[in-house]
Amino acid sequence: MKRFFILTCFIMMFVFTGISTNAEETISYPFDSVTITSAYKFNVEINEIPNESSFLNGHVEAGEMVTIYVGQLKYMYDGAEVLASESIIIVTNEAGTDIARWLINSYTVTENGFNAYYSSHITIDPTVGVVKTVDDNAYSAGIIEENSVYQFVDNQDTAYQMVDGSFVVEDNLNIVISAYEGVE
């Protein structure tokens, strides 16, 4: 009986050690780097002071030129792609201040182009990855492309037409940004 008990203690010791080791090994992160694969930009002119409910209000003056940057992102983990076709919008005023840096929320292909909407409630948490939270006060902004003509749309659905000749695109980029050092 005692032998059996000692044997059980031995077995339990190995079992506990095994479970603990496995628990450590399951710690993982969904991505460890982000790659910018392409990007484009265009300018829009803000003709009037935006509505008070617009996220642009207080950041731009009437007649100011705002630059819209969009980057296509690829999330990688251990050299493998985990999230593709992601993108980010950066809305920058003439002073160079970023008014918005939001990740994509929805993308729709239309007959002659696409609609892409970005939202402030989608963020990056280095411990989790891309995080989509519920936030009733979240702002959104959109890009509407139709026959290679781009429009920027604020959270009040006010559309701003692309300034002619301002569109620039850079394809085939491979800019790797390390998110953090992985746990060893």
Contact residues toward another protein (CB under 8 A) are 2, 5-6, 9-10, 12-13, 16-17, 20, 23-24, 27, 34, 36, 39, 41, 69, 71, 73, 88, 90, 92, 98, 101, 123-127, 131, 168, 170, 173, 175, 177, 179-181, 183
Compute the least distance from the CB of residue 111 to another protein, in Å: 29
Q: Are strands 159-161 and 80-92 parallel, antiparallel or unpaired?
A: unpaired
Q: Which is nearer to another protein, 114 or 180 (CB)?
A: 180
Compute the least distance from the CB of residue 149 to another protein, in Å: 20
Q: Which is nearer to another protein, 63 or 126 (CB)?
A: 126
The Cα–Cα gap between 165 and 50 comes to: 24
CB 73 within 8 A of CB 86: yes
Task: Please report the sign of the dihedral spanned by the C-alpha atoms of residue 17, residue 22, residue 25, residue 30.
Answer: negative
Q: For 128, left (φ over 0), alpha (ψ -120 to 50), or beta?
A: alpha
Compute the least distance from the CB of residue 80 to another protein, in Å: 19
Closest to 94 (Cα-Cα) out of 62, 52, 60: 60
Closest to 110 (Cα-Cα) out of 146, 56, 83: 146
- Distances in Å between the Cα of 4 and the Cα atoms of 11, 12, 78 are 10, 12, 46
Compute the least distance from the CB of residue 98 to another protein, in Å: 6
Q: Which is nearer to another protein, 6 or 84 (CB)?
A: 6
Compute the least distance from the CB of residue 160 to another protein, in Å: 19
Q: Which is nearer to another protein, 17 or 106 (CB)?
A: 17
Q: Which is nearer to another protein, 10 or 114 (CB)?
A: 10
